[in-house]
Amino acid sequence: MFLEEKKCLNCQKPIQGRSDKKFCDDFCRSHYNNHLKSGRYQTVRKINNALKKNRKILELALSDVKETMRISREQLLLKGFQFKYHTHRYINKKGDVYIYCYDYGYLQLDSDWFLIVKVREHV
C-alpha cells in the first residue's frame, strides 16, 4: 500500500507534516484563498469604492466650517462624483428628496445645482 504524496494546492510542491495539511506555507494559503475570492467580490468592491469616493468628494466640498454648501453638477462630475451610487434617501416633510452617501448627502436644487449637507449627530 503506497501513500500518495500530497501537494500544495497553490504551488504543487510536496507537503511535509500533518496528513490534513493543504498548503506548504502561509504565503501559498493566503495566495490561494485571495485568488479564489478575487472575482467573487469584484462588483461589491467596485461599488464600495465608488460610494467612498462620493462621500469623500462631498466631505471635502463641505469643509468643517459650513453646515451646507451649494455646488454645481459640473464641479461634482469633474471631481469624479458618480450620481448613480448612493446609500439611502431621505424625504423631509416638504417632500424634498435628500440623497446620501453614508453621512453626507445632497439635495438637487435645480438641474445644475445641489445643496450638500451632513447628517447631524444627535447627542
Write out the residue range of the structural domain in which residue 80 sits: 26-118
The DSSP 8-state label assigned to residue 7 in this structure reads B
Is pLDDT above 80 for 14?
yes
The DSSP 8-state label assigned to residue 121 in this structure reads P
Q: How confident is the model at residue 122 (pLDDT cuts 50, 70, 90)?
A: low
pLDDT tens digits along 58-101: 999 998 778 899 999 999 999 999 999 999 999 999 999 999 99
Is pLDDT above 90 for 114?
yes
Quick check: is 64 in a domain? yes
Quick check: is 47 in a domain? yes
CA–CA distance, 117 with 104 (Å, rounded to integer): 6
Quick check: is 36 in a domain? yes
- CA-wise closest residue to 80 among 107, 99, 61: 61
Burial class for 79, CB neighbours closer than 10 Å (0-12, 13-18, 19+): middle
Domain count within the chain: 1
**pTM greater than 0.75:** no
Which residues lie below 8 Å from residue 57, measured CB to CB, with a gap of 6+?
Answer: 76, 79, 80, 81
Quick check: is 102 in a domain? yes
Quick check: is 65 in a domain? yes
Report which of residues 120 and 114 the model is more confident about: 114
Quick check: is 96 in a domain? yes
Quick check: is 7 in a domain? no
Quick check: is 56 in a domain? yes
